[in-house]
Amino acid sequence: MAESIDIRALNAEIEAQSAFVTSLKAGMNQVIVGQTHLVESLLIGLLSNGHVLLEGVPGLAKTLAIKTLANLVSGQFSRVQFTPDLLPADVIGTMIYSQTEGKFIANRGPIFANFVLADEINRAPAKVQSALLEAMQERQVTLGKETFNLPKPFLVLATQNPVEQEGTYTLPEAQMDRFMLKVVITYPKIEEEMQIMRAMINGDKQEVSPILSTDEILKAREVVKKVYIDEKIQKYIADIIFATRFPEKYGMEDIKNFISFGGSPRASISLCLASRAYAFIQRRGYVIPEDVRAVAHDVLRHRIGITYEAEANNVTSDDIVTKILNQVQVP
């Protein structure tokens, strides 16, 4: 397969087709100070048709970043503030009776948008979470006896606060697995903090204009599919996922008791797609091991179950991913 692909020509094509990434990043940086990793993660989700879960304490520009991305891509944006009393109908909509027409008609909920911000998603109970599953996986919603397709592109960008536990619900594992990436947002550096302070003190409010259409994003996704992934890289990804399931086969008996379950096949698919999108963002036509390592934590941290023994030893899923990346042989 490698012989039939002209890597040099493919690289030139990807470099030309990915020029808009620079404009998107510049647009995000007009509003968001720092948070380079957050911006790249949102772009990976957008280009890979994957949903993104952002975790961080309040005030780290999670909501602002998502709204800015939606503004740069002239798509329909909706926001749902998740609360303990939220109902599934508040998210996906419901069937209402129309007296003028004498029949039930669909009243579509805020899920019918290109970008759906699920703010503080862990505040809603399991019934509401389950209402999102069909939309996230199948890109469709069932109301009554009718099924409605969601617009393209369709992206759920969810936020959750890891600190506050009162009035929150743990997300079901089935739903966590539907998020391609779980991105942990950290505090800005002191220079960035001062820049944010100055902007707020001066009342500076940056507005961004759309630079891409939704059709252009769909075309870009087709280009991303051309990014070449060598068979050795595919084997490397498979080894990483298998090491989360059977660490003893990769010389890591010491972490076997820390893992309750490893990544599913959806994890290997997501790692493959995210690596390809990351290579595209770097304006490269082929995937290298560094691309896989760059996205591995975001793809795997929410897909590895840790045991009580791991918690007792202060071992996190991030620690396990780091250990695996250091142990599995790089091609």
Q: Residues 260-306: pLDDT tens digits?
A: 988 889 999 999 999 999 999 998 889 999 999 999 999 999 999 88
Tell me the H-state helices in the chain.
7-17, 19-31, 36-48, 62-72, 88-92, 126-138, 173-176, 190-201, 214-224, 231-245, 265-281, 289-300, 308-312, 317-327
CATH topology of domain 227-327: Helicase, Ruva Protein; domain 3 (1.10.8)
* pTM for the full predicted model: 0.86
Contact 157, 118 (CB under 8 A): yes
Domain with CATH 1.10.8.80 in the chain: 227-327
From residue 289, alpha-carbon distances to 43, 50, 202, 300, 306 in Å are 20, 21, 44, 16, 26
Residue 112 above 80 pLDDT? yes
% pLDDT > 90, the chain: 25
Rounded distance, CA 248 to CA 165, Å? 35
Average pLDDT of the residues of the chain: 86
For position 258, what pLDDT does the model report? 92
What value does the mean pLDDT take over residues 177-205?
82
For position 273, what pLDDT does the model report? 94
Read off the DSSP letter of residue 59: T
Residue 1 above 60 pLDDT? no
Residues 6+ apart with CB under 8 A from 15: 283, 284, 285
- Here the tokens at position 284 are 């490269």
Residue 199 above 80 pLDDT? no
Domain with CATH 3.40.50.300 in the chain: 36-199
Residue 2 above 70 pLDDT? no
For position 4, what pLDDT does the model report? 59
| Res. 209 pLDDT band, cuts 50 70 90 | confident
Position with higher pLDDT, 307 vs 145: 307
Nearest-Å Rg of the Cα atoms of the chain is: 21
What value does the mean pLDDT take over residues 78-102?
86
DSSP state string for 64-123? HHHHHHHHHBT--EEEEE--TT--HHHHHEEEEEETTTTEEEEEE-TTSSSEEEEETGGG
What value does the mean pLDDT take over residues 195-221?
81
Position with higher pLDDT, 187 vs 172: 187
For position 244, what pLDDT does the model report? 93
Q: Residues 22-80: pLDDT tens digits?
A: 888 888 888 877 778 888 898 899 999 999 998 887 777 777 888 888 888 888 888 88
Residues 6+ apart with CB under 8 A from 227: 10, 14, 276, 277, 279, 280, 284, 285, 286, 287
Residue 171 above 80 pLDDT? no
Q: Output the CA torsion sign for 214, 216, 218, 220.
A: negative
Rounded distance, CA 199 to CA 194, Å? 9
% pLDDT > 70, the chain: 96
Residue of 283, 271, 74, 299 lying closest to 176 (CA atoms): 299
In terms of average pLDDT, the best of 144-153, 210-219, 249-258, 291-300 is: 291-300
User: Which residues partner with 180 through β-bridges?
Assistant: none
Q: Residues 176-186: pLDDT tens digits?
A: 888 999 998 88
Residue 207 above 80 pLDDT? no
CATH topology of domain 36-199: Rossmann fold (3.40.50)
Q: Which range, of 179-193, 228-242, 309-323, averages the lowest pLDDT? A: 179-193
What value does the mean pLDDT take over residues 252-262?
90
| Res. 126 pLDDT band, cuts 50 70 90 | confident
What value does the mean pLDDT take over residues 300-321?
91
